[in-house]
Amino acid sequence: MIKTFTKLAYTALLTLIYMLCSFTGIAQIITTLNPIADASVWQGGATNNYGSTTFQIKGSPSGQTRIGYVKFDLGTTAVADVKSAKFRMFVNSYPASSSSNVVVSSTSENWVESTLNYNNRPALNTALASVNITASGVYYEWDVTNYFKTLLATNTIVSFGLSDPSNSDKTIVFNKKEDATNKPELVISDTPSPSTNTVPVTFNNLFSDYAIIQQQKTATPLFGFAGIGTQITVTPSWNNTAYTGITDINGMWRINVATPVANGISYSIEAKDEDGHSKTINNIKLGEVWFCAGQSNMEMRLKGFGSNPVTSPIANGQALINAANDPDLRMFTLPTTLSIDPKTNLTGTWNEANPTNAEFFSAIAYQYALALKAKLNVPVGVIVTAVGGIPIQSLMSKESLKPFPEVTVPITLDNDKATPTSVYNGMVSPVAGYGIKGFIWYQGESNRQEPDLYKRLFPAMITDYRSKWNDTNLPFYFVQIAPNNYSVPFGGAIMREVLYDSYKSIPNTGISLPMEVGEANEIHYADKTTPANRLSFIALNKTYGFTNIPYLGPEFKSISFLGNKATLSFNYATGLKIKGNATSLFEIAGGDKVFVPATAVINNLTNQIEVVATNPAQVLNPAFVRYAFSNFVVGNLFNGDDLPASSFRTKNYDIDVDSNFHVYLLTGQSNMSGRGSLSQDTYVPNPRIKMLKLDGTWVKATNPLHGELEPGEAQVGPGISFAVKMLENADPNVTIGLIPTAIGGQSISVFAPGVTNTRTNKSIYDESVKYVLAAQTKGVLKGILFHQGEADNSRASSWVTDIKALISNFRTTFNQPKLPFVFGEMGRYAANPTKYGNILAVMPGVNADVPFTALVSSAGLTDIGDITHFNTASAVILGQRYADAMKGVLTTLPVTLTKFTATKKTEGALIQWTTASELNNDRFELERSTDGKLFSNIATVKGKGTSSALNNYSFTEKNPNNGVNYYRLVQYDLDGKISISDVVALTFDLLDNGNDFAIMIYPNPTKEKIFVNLKAAQNTQVKVAIYNLQGKLMKQLSFSEDELIQQDIQELKTGVYILRVNDANTNKLIGESKFLKN
C-alpha cells in the first residue's frame, strides 16, 4: 500500500513513526560519531598542512579557496541497517548579514590529517547535500542518507568534503574534533528520516533558458543533478510526455527524450524530483547544434583581438555585429576553465544573436552558424570551447592519452592551460553527451613543432570525442592551419600536410582550407569568413545532403615524368586555374631533393599541370614536385568552384627520409669552429661528406666548415676529421652531413633558447634547431658534437647546470631522449696545463650524470701558441677522438628505429619498420589494440642480433579490425630487457576492402554493455550471438541490416567472449569478433 501513497503522505507516515518511536519505546538505535580526522586546505598555502589548526571553508574567485575534509570510522555499525544519516558541523564564526551555500561531497578516505594540503587533496566526488549558512553559534546539518545506500557492506570509513562552490568569498570557521564541545558529528539511525533529499533537482547549465536542443532525435539526452538515488521526471512541452530516470552514485541524472522537427516555436522543459522540487527552463528552441572547439583562431571574436580586426572582402566584423538580429541563432561560449579532474557542470549562458551579444561571438563559429541557418531555415545553436595558445593535449581526456607515454598527465594543475587534459576537464567534459549534430575544430598552431605526434593524437582525440557522445560516426570538420611565417622551417607546411592526411584517413571528416587568406606576420588573420563558409559547404553537402554545393578543392592524385617535365593529375580539378599573375608556387627536384623554382602550365583539356624547372638545366631528371610547401604562401591553385588546393608534396620525403644520410650538429665556440691553419689542411673533399650552408643547401664539405658564420676567423676544426673517421668501416651507402653552428668566444649561457650572441645577433640554439629540422627532411639526426667551456672556466659550477639544460633542451626539441651528445675537454697545453682546470674538473661529472653522453680527452694535444686553440694536427686528432666517442655512444643504443609506419593495403594493414643499428636484439613483437590501451601480440619477428647495417622489416595483418587499429613494437634484447615504440594508428572500413560484412564492437574492453555495429554491403538477414571461449552459447541477439545493437552484458563473468554473425537462412558463419568483459 505504501507504494500508492503520495510523497507527502509517505513523509507524514515517516514522521509518525518517529513520534511513535519516541513515545512508545520502540527500539530506535541512534549513534552519534565524532570524526577520526578533520582538516582544511588553503589554495593560497597549497603545500601547507593545517590539520592541527583552524577548520575554515571559503569559496574564492581569486585563488584563496579553502576546502574542508572530515572522516568518520563507522566501527561495527552495519551500513545496511542505516536508514538515516545526518552530517552536522558547528559554525564557530561567520560574518554577520552574510550567506554562503556550503556543499558536502563524498571523497576518498585516502588522506592523512597531518599531511593533507591543497596540492595532495582528494577530489570532491559527488555533491551529497547543500545548506545555506547564515549565522554562527549553531549546528548545520546535511542529510547524507542516500549516500549510505550506495556504500558496500565492507565500507567502515566514510569521508566528506565541504566547499563553497558559489564563491561567496566569505570565510566560515567550523569547530574541529579537537574542540572541547560542539565537535563535528555523524548521526546515524536505523529508522528513516522524514526526508532524505536535500539537493533539489537542477539541470546542467547547458540546459538553461534560450538553449537550442538538437531536433529530430529519438533519444536526445537531458542531464542534471539531484540527491543520490532520486527519481527525476522530465517533461518537455513539445510533446508533454513524462520521461523518468534515477540519479546515479554521483548525484547525476541523464534522461533521453524524443525531439520532433524544428518549427520555430519556443518551448519549456520541466525537471521534477520525487520530493516535489522542480526546475523549469524556458524559451527553448529545437534546431541544429554544433560543438566548436580549438585555440585562438576559433576563439577570435567578431570584434577582433585588440588591434587585429575581423574583416574580409565578403564580410566586415563590425558590419556582422551591427546586422546580428536573429533570436533563432544562439551561442553558448564557455569561459576559460582549467581543471585537473573532469568537471560535470559549467558556467555560462545561451545568448541570442544581437549587436550587444554578437561582438563577443566566435567569428568562425558565428559565421558557420549563419551560413547553416540561411540554408536550413531552422534555429542553430553553437557551443564554443576555445582557449588561445593551447596544444591538442590540453583538449584531450586522460583516457585518450594513455596510449601515448610521451605525454605526461600531471596530478596538479599549476594554472597552466598547456597542461594535458586541463581544458578538456574544465570545458569539454561538462558538455560531453549534449545532443549535437557534429563538431567543428580549429587547432594545431601550438603543435606545429611536433607534427608526428599530432598525427597520432588527432585521430585518437576524434575517436574519444565520438565515444563520449556515444556516436562513432559524428561529423568532425576542421580548419587547416593558415599560412604564416612560423619560426620552424617548413613547420607550418608539414602541419598543413598532417591535417590534410588526417582528413583523408579518418572517416566522416572534412577540411576547410584557408590557403589564400593567411597573413605573413599575424597568426590571427583577419578573414574568418572564408574558412567558416568552407566549413559550412562541407556540412551542407555531407551532413545535410545538399550535394549540389561543392566543398572539395583540387587534390593531388598522381605524377608522371617525361624528360625534364613532370605531369601532375588531380581529383576535383574541373576548371583548374592559377589565380592572378602570381609567381608559380611549384618547385621541382631531382633525386638529390634539392628543390628549385618551377614553371607550371595547366593543360585545359586534361586538367593536368605540367611542371618544369624555371631554369631547365637545374633539374634534367625530376623526381619530386611540391606546391606551396613553405610556411607562408598565398595559395593560388583553385578549381572551377573557386576552392583551393592544399599545399602538397608528390612524395613525403620528410617521412621517407634517406636513413643512410647521417646528420650531426657541430656547435660550441672557437675550438669547434676551428683555428688550425688552413695552410696545413690536407683534406681532399669526399662526396660522402656534406655540409649545410646558410641558404639550406647541401654541398661537399670543405674547411673552413664555419666560414660563413665566422668569415676570416674560422679555419680547421675537428668536424671533417670526425666525419672521415665515422665513415671508416661504415656501410658504403652511408653519407655524413655536418651542420656547423659554432661561434667563438661565447659563454654557455648564450646557448639557451632565444638568447642572441653578440657576433651574429642571432640565437645559436634557435639557429641550430632551424637547420637540424631542415636537415631532417633529408636524413637522420645521429648526434651532437659540442666543444665549449673556455669562456666559463670562472663559473664552472653554473656551467654544469647550463650544459645539462642544453642537452635536455636539444633532446626534447628533437624528440630524441637518447640523442647522443659528445663534448670535449679544453686544452691541457704544456705552457699552462691548468689554465682551464676549473672546467676540466667538472666535465667528468656531467658525463657520469647524463646518459648517452661521452667526454673527449684533450691529452697530448697542442695549441697554435695562444694556450687556447688547437693547431691543425691536434684539431684533426680531436675530431677522430670525437668519432670514436660517438661510435661508443651509438653502440650502447640497443636498437635505433628510424621508421615505423602502418599503411592501408587491399590485402590488409602493412606494418613496416627500419632500424639503422641493432645491439643484442632478440626479436620484435608487433602488438595491436582497438582502443589504444589493451594491446595483444599479432606477430613475432626475429631481430638481427648485433648489426650496424640498415635493416627493413614488414608484416601484413590480413584481418585488421573495422575502425581504428593501434599498433606498437615491443623490442626484446637477448638479456630480456624490453623497449616499446611509439604507437601508430590506422583506420579501416572493411567494406572498402571488398568484405561483405564488417563487425564493430565498442567499447572494447567493457564493463556493463556493448554496442554492436554490423555494416552490410547488401541486404542481409543475420543471426547474432555471444559465445564463451569454450563455444557455449551465452546470449542470442536479434539484428536486421543497418541496426545498432545495444546489449547489456553485466551478468557475464569477466573474460573474453566471441560475438558471431551467421546467415539467418543458411546458418553460414559470416564473421566473428572478440571482446573483453572486465
User: Is the pLDDT score of 101 beyond 50?
Assistant: yes
Residue environment code for 249-269, b if the CB has 16+ CB neighbours within 10 A, otherwise e: ebbbbebbbebeebeeeebeb
Q: What gap in Å lies between CA 738 and CA 741, rounded to an integer?
A: 10
Q: Are 361 and 353 in contact (CB under 8 A)?
A: yes
Q: What is the mean pLDDT of residues 714-724?
A: 95
- Distances, alpha carbon 1007 to alpha carbons 114, 1052, 1056, 1075, in Å: 37, 9, 12, 11
| Domain segments of the chain as ranges | 9-189, 287-543, 555-649, 661-890, 895-988, 996-1077
User: Is the pLDDT score of 441 beyond 70?
Assistant: yes
User: Is the pLDDT score of 27 beyond 60?
Assistant: no
More reliable by pLDDT, 554 or 4: 554
Q: What gap in Å lies between CA 58 and CA 598, rounded to an integer?
A: 67
More reliable by pLDDT, 260 or 137: 260
Instruction: Centre a 10 Å sphere on the Cβ of residue 1037 and count the other Cβ atoms it contains.
Output: 15
Cis before 711 (ω within 30): no
The pLDDT tens digits for 657-699 are: 577 889 999 999 999 999 999 999 999 989 899 999 988 788 8
Question: Fold match between 661-890 and 996-1077?
Answer: no
Q: What is the mean pLDDT of residues 1036-1059?
A: 73
pLDDT for 893: 58
Q: Are 735 and 702 in contact (CB under 8 A)?
A: no
Which range has the worst mean pLDDT, 59-73, 150-164, 757-771, 781-795?
150-164
Q: What is the mean pLDDT of residues 224-247?
A: 92
More reliable by pLDDT, 533 or 487: 533
Give the architecture-level CATH label for domain 9-189. Sandwich (2.60)
pLDDT for 656: 46
The pLDDT tens digits for 966-1002 are: 888 888 877 666 677 767 777 765 544 444 556 666 6
pTM: 0.56
Q: What is the mean pLDDT of residues 472-501?
A: 91
Q: What percentage of the chain reaches a pLDDT higher than 70? A: 90
- Distances, alpha carbon 439 to alpha carbons 82, 289, 291, 660, in Å: 47, 9, 5, 43
Band of residue 293 on the pLDDT scale cut at 50, 70, 90: very high
- The domain covering 661-890 belongs, at the CATH homologous superfamily level, to SGNH hydrolase (3.40.50.1110)
User: Is the pLDDT score of 715 beyond 50?
Assistant: yes
Q: What is the mean pLDDT of residues 126-133?
A: 85
Which range has the worst mean pLDDT, 204-208, 457-461, 752-756?
752-756
Q: What is the mean pLDDT of residues 588-606?
A: 87
User: Is the pLDDT score of 896 beyond 90?
Assistant: no
- The domain covering 996-1077 belongs, at the CATH homologous superfamily level, to Macroglobulin (MG2) domain (2.60.40.1930)
Band of residue 902 on the pLDDT scale cut at 50, 70, 90: confident
User: Is the pLDDT score of 432 beyond 70?
Assistant: yes
Helix (H, G, I), strand (E, B) or coil at 355: helix
User: Is the pLDDT score of 934 beyond 90?
Assistant: no
Cis before 194 (ω within 30): no
As given in the structure block, the three cell numbers for residue 172 are 566560515
Q: What is the mean pLDDT of residues 1020-1041?
A: 77
Which range has the worst mean pLDDT, 49-63, 169-183, 531-545?
49-63
Highest mean pLDDT among 26-30, 342-346, 822-826: 822-826
Q: What is the mean pLDDT of residues 228-234?
A: 88
Band of residue 588 on the pLDDT scale cut at 50, 70, 90: very high
pLDDT for 977: 65
Cis before 355 (ω within 30): no
pLDDT for 996: 52
User: Is the pLDDT score of 202 beyond 70?
Assistant: yes
The pLDDT tens digits for 41-96 are: 998 888 899 988 889 999 887 778 999 999 999 887 776 677 888 999 999 998 87
The residue written with cell numbers 655512444 in the block is: 889
Q: What is the mean pLDDT of residues 743-759?
A: 92
pLDDT for 989: 59
Helix (H, G, I), strand (E, B) or coil at 429: coil
CATH T-level fold of 895-988: Immunoglobulin-like (2.60.40)
Q: What is the mean pLDDT of residues 937-944?
A: 86
pLDDT for 1: 29
User: Is the pLDDT score of 122 beyond 50?
Assistant: yes
CATH T-level fold of 287-543: Rossmann fold (3.40.50)
User: Is the pLDDT score of 493 beyond 50?
Assistant: yes
Q: What is the mean pLDDT of residues 243-265?
A: 91
Q: What gap in Å lies between CA 529 and CA 546, rounded to an integer?
A: 20
User: Is the pLDDT score of 828 beyond 70?
Assistant: yes
pLDDT for 354: 96
pLDDT for 1017: 45
Q: What gap in Å lies between CA 442 and CA 481, rounded to an integer?
A: 8
Could you tell me if residue 306 is left (phi over 0), alpha (psi between -120 and 50 degrees) or otherwise beta?
left
The pLDDT tens digits for 362-387 are: 999 999 999 999 999 999 999 999 99
Instruction: Centre a 10 Å sphere on the Cβ of residue 481 and count the other Cβ atoms it contains.
Output: 26
User: Is the pLDDT score of 734 beyond 80?
Assistant: yes
